[in-house]
Amino acid sequence: MNQTEKALALAESIGGKNRLNCIAEIDETAAEQAREQEADKQDKLLAGIPVLVKDNIDVKGLHTTAGSLALADNIAREDAPVIRNLRRNGAVILGKTNMTEFANYTTEGMPGGYSSRGGQVIHAVNPKLSPTGSSSGSAVAVAAGIVPMAVGTDTSHSVTACAMFNGICGLKPPAGALSAEGIIPIARTLDSAGAMARDLTDALKLYSAMRDEPLPELKPLKLDGLRIAVNRAQRETLPGRRKRFLNSLLKRLKAGGAVIGEVDQKAAPEMVTIMRWEFRPMLEAYLKKSTAKRKTLAEIVAYYEANPDTMMKYGDTLLRAALDETPGGLRGKPYLDALEARREAVKRVTAEIENDDAVLTTGPTSIMHFCGLPTVTVAGGKKNADGVNEAVILYGKDECRLYEAALAIEQVMLKMGGSGDESKKEKSHFDRFFLAHFSNRSCSGLVF
């Protein structure tokens, strides 16, 4: 069996609706793609590696629905540029993954991993846990070992926090590093495709293969002299077990010679405005080029409200607000003010971390996504009380410098073995805290 045959077998046995429900659609040409890669003797970055793709990214001949039955007729005519690059680098596109509907921009209170088209994605480690989102199916497919790598999208933590909750690695590149063409958007100012894998080396390989030009060679920075800023925003609200894990990690980094500082970089409320004002025009720009019957947000909202049994299980508050509550459109004062606030935040945040190799988050914050900074999730060897690998989210000003710092931090984390022994009460508090904040659209978490 080659890698694709193994992945297809696992997708059928554990990826479907009767198990993890992370697979939306399998590409019938996957086996043929794999044979072509075996016959091709060129040394390609992802030669023959099966990759799954989130269902808001165009893959020629497959559906692109963003999890919504309102777009069930949308068949991609062409690959999105990031998919073309993956094929050029030897990847086998295995199929599409389920996701939170419209990348969690359908309604407030929708569970992570739920969509009208796909149903509920199930966490790979513990079915009682939320898979979060919105790149739920991609994260679960990697965590379950169906594929070594998967593509997600991230407006605010849909790759990075989703990876953390599933105990894998995730990478969101800096704003504009990857083409957004052929991807159903929320807000182009904030959106990016991203990479998900079991370890950071594979996530970097996948990201490099998605780019027009590959990354330069990356090596872990030396711990001695590594400069890490700890973002203390909301740190005081962390439960004890999370504090102990982070303190243990920082102690190990300091023992290796890392220099630890602090910053306080909270979430920016203007992020909500940018998403609301950009969603309609940017969605409709995608739909105009698509094969979808419904070409406007008004038609989509009308479809939801005309079909409450299938489409309104959790409502459509975000879709409706984007339709009705965006005066002036992209020339509206609230939107222009939010963009100005973002420009000022970029100046302030990057100046504060100018001399740091990486910033380590503690409590939830979306400031890195607001500013378009590269962000990675690194998973280690220690498991929490649920059996999920502990992980941290890092961001920085300089892309390659961040990745090399993250590789060094990953080496330390992989040596932190063992499993959590904290009480179920404390574990439940941690889960409630993070899920509440990472799905709160008003401030800190913003998982889209």
Q: Which of 54, 96, 172, 205 is catalytic?
A: 54
Cβ(393)–Cβ(161) under 8 Å?
A: yes
pTM: 0.95
Q: Which amino acid would we find at residue 34?
A: A
Backbone torsion region of residue 123, taken as left when φ is above 0, otherwise alpha when ψ lies between -120 and 50, otherwise beta: beta
Q: Which segments of 111-224 does DSSP mark as H helices, in order?
A: 136-143, 160-166, 200-210
Whether 439 is a known active-site residue: answer no
Q: Determine the Cα–Cα distance for residues 369 and 285; give it in Å rounded to an integer.
A: 23
CA R_g for the chain: 21
**What does the pLDDT read at residue 134?**
98
Tokens of 252: 């190990």
Whether 156 is a known active-site residue: answer no
DSSP class of 288: H
Q: Which amino acid would we find at residue 326?
A: T
Alpha-carbon dihedral 58, 63, 64, 65, rounded to 10 degrees = 180
Neighbours of 186 (CB within 10 A): 30
Quote the longest CA-to-CA distance of the chain.
Answer: 62
Q: Which of 115, 116, 130, 134 is catalytic?
A: 134
Q: Which of 138, 158, 366, 444 is catalytic?
A: 158
Whether 54 is a known active-site residue: answer yes
Edge-first strand order for the sheet with 358-361 is: 23-26, 92-97, 50-54, 149-154, 192-197, 169-172, 375-383, 389-395, 358-361, 227-231, 259-263
The angle that helices 317-324 and 270-289 make with each other, rounded to 10 degrees, is: 90
Per-residue pLDDT for the chain (448 aa), expressed as one digit of tens each? 899 999 999 999 999 999 999 999 999 999 999 999 999 989 999 999 999 999 999 999 999 999 999 999 999 999 999 999 999 999 999 999 999 999 999 999 999 999 999 999 999 999 999 999 999 999 999 999 999 999 999 999 999 999 999 999 999 999 999 999 999 999 999 999 999 999 999 999 999 999 999 999 999 999 999 999 999 998 888 888 899 999 999 999 999 999 999 999 999 999 999 999 999 999 999 999 999 999 999 999 999 999 999 999 999 999 999 999 999 999 999 999 999 999 999 999 999 999 999 999 999 999 999 999 999 999 999 999 999 999 999 999 999 999 999 999 999 999 997 765 544 444 444 455 455 555 444 444 557 8
* Domain locations along the chain: 3-210
Q: Determine the Cα–Cα distance for residues 53 and 23; give it in Å rounded to an integer.
A: 10
Tokens of 377: 């999730």
- Spatial CA neighbour of 108 closest among 311, 314, 364: 314
Neighbours of 126 (CB within 10 A): 11
Cβ(316)–Cβ(301) under 8 Å?
A: yes
| Fold designation for 3-210 | Amidase signature (AS) enzymes (3.90.1300)
What are residue 263's DSSP bridge partners?
A: 231
Burial class (CB in 10 A: 0-12, 13-18, 19+), 133: buried
Kind and range of the H or E run holding 410: helix 399-414
Kindly write down the DSSP assignment for every residue of 372-427, as one continuous string: T--EEEEEEEEE-TTSPEEEEEEE-SSHHHHHHHHHHHHHHHHT---B----HHHH
Q: Determine the Cα–Cα distance for residues 350 and 372; give it in Å rounded to an integer.
A: 11
Neighbours of 223 (CB within 10 A): 19
